[in-house]
Amino acid sequence: MRLSGAEIVIESLIQEGVTSIFGYPGAAITDIYDTLDKSPIRHYLVRHEQGAVHMADGYARTSGKVGVCLVTSGPGATNTVTGIASAYMDSIPIVVFTGQVPTPLIGNDAFQEVDIVGITRPCTKHNYLVKAVEDLAGIIKEAFYLARSGRPGPILIDLPKDILHNKTEFKYPKKIEMRNYRPTYSAHPKQIEKATAQILKAKRPVIYAGGGVITSHSSSELKTLAESLTIPVTTTLMGLGAFPGRHPLWLGMLGMHGTYWANMSVAHCDLLIAVGARFDDRVTGKVDLFAPEARIIHIDIDPTSIRKNVSVDIPIVGDCKDALTKLNQLVQKPGKQEWRKIRQPWLEQIKEWKETHPLNYEQGKDEIKPQYVVEKIYELTKGKAIIATEVGQNQMWAAQYYHFDQPNSFITSGGLGVMGYGFPAAIGAQVACPDRIVFDIAGDGSIQMNIQEMATVVANQLPVKIAILNNGYLGMVRQFQELFYEKRYAQTFLKGNPDFVKIAEAYGATGLRAKHPEEVGPVIEKALSIKGPVIIDFVVSPEECVSPMVPSGKAMTEMLLV
């Protein structure tokens, strides 16, 4: 079958099982759009290319499939960079197609020409500039394989306009063999044996799980290990949902805004079992004082993550599911032991820390506390919603007060920390999971960074609910200024905020508002009863802080308990 480059792109996507893509057309990719319009693939027309990448990201996180984004050359391509970098930091499998000027014009500063391959080289798992139409099908096959295998990540394919015109015989490869890319999935038995010996003799162990547990679908194996040996579990922000948020062994999130008892447990444990986590600075704080009494086991499929930030005693390279399965088999061999009795002193100590400094806030009669809004959303959605967040205080309150019992239910820009991520990611999640309730918990600053996607959500009648915690500030920076800059609120007061109810109505959606605590529950219930998209403007306490907080450069035990 002889096809043009544009037809090869669409046929290849069909072969990969792609049913939905997110994009914005332009002159360089008009041929693809002309072909796409005649295909069974549903295209979601965004209003800004950054939104398209975040939608593909949210789609990938909740569906378990590769998300796909299609944009034009020049500014269309550069507008995707923030979203690509976010997906790279969080190991999310997406494939981004960008248009490019015709091959003979590359390097001539042609109209809407940019070296997007060079720009994105540091923030993609791999990228391609297609130089011959004969290579195109193989590159697309390779791109999807790379995106989803090993440690997942974003792939970019740059498509010169003449390549899309040219024709060749189309034959889609059935499989890919890459000599220089062979991820290690099977954990080494000797390392598993060493880890098992340490786990069985530990008195104060803690499991520290990250997003790798969710990516590898190993939540069940993690729960089995924790329960069979009575080991408390904490997770990173990216790992929320990897372990049930209401489980007796659950410590809550660790790190800068982690729970007091999670941070204290890590600081005093004698064995830290890290699974699919990368010890980033928001988790470790001052590295020299991180888990100072512990031997560390680190399981990760990416060998470059191991010993990158902290010293590790037992490295295990492999898929988390494979490693945890093998560990679960070995730890059972010595026979049944009274682990709850053995762990009792450790569990009692953790209980004391938890009772001394629990997560709390006081909901008075006048102002709405943002934590109360998150708790009411949890209550009224019965903990079953997909929660997307922006970045800032809204992100941390969602992490602390919505108790995630299932993986793939919390989607946030964890590594790059992108304001404006949550709303488009929620749209992608709603496309992937049309039968689930999807909330974006946002701040009044961050929601304005991609609020133009209201047009996308309305045009497609996607029932995303947007809960704006409206405190009139760039809240997290204001909190920094309150605590460390003597309350000099330089440029964090958001004078000139729009009326978010009218914004919703202007786009053809529903807008609701709550100003008093007694209105919170009813407006959430009303929003849930509406089939289309809804913005809920919660006017919350303007100077509420996220607590606990570890100041930058301090040890995780040096928490400010505001």
Active-site positions? 49, 111-112, 161, 476
Are 501 and 510 in contact by the 8 Å Cβ rule? The answer is no
Distance, CA of 8 to CA of 29 (rounded, Å): 13
Q: Where are the alpha helices (DSSP H) in 185-334?
A: 189-201, 211-215, 219-229, 260-268, 281-284, 320-331
End-to-end distance of the chain based on CA atoms, in angstroms?
67
Q: Which helix (H) or strand (E) holds 272?
A: strand 271-275
Residue type, 278: R
Q: Which helix (H) or strand (E) holds 370?
A: helix 370-380
Burial, 201: exposed, middle or buried (Cβ in 10 Å; 0-12, 13-18, 19+)? exposed
Q: Where are the alpha helices (DSSP H) in 202-319?
A: 211-215, 219-229, 260-268, 281-284
Distance, CA of 428 to CA of 413 (rounded, Å): 14
Distance, CA of 98 to CA of 407 (rounded, Å): 31
Are 87 and 69 in contact by the 8 Å Cβ rule? The answer is no
Distance, CA of 462 to CA of 429 (rounded, Å): 10
Tell me how far CA of residue 366 lies from CA of 227, 334, 512, in angstroms. 43, 59, 19
Residue type, 463: P
Annotate 5-61 with DSSP letters as a single string: HHHHHHHHHHHTT--EEEE---GGGHHHHHHHTTSS-EEEE-SSHHHHHHHHHHHHH
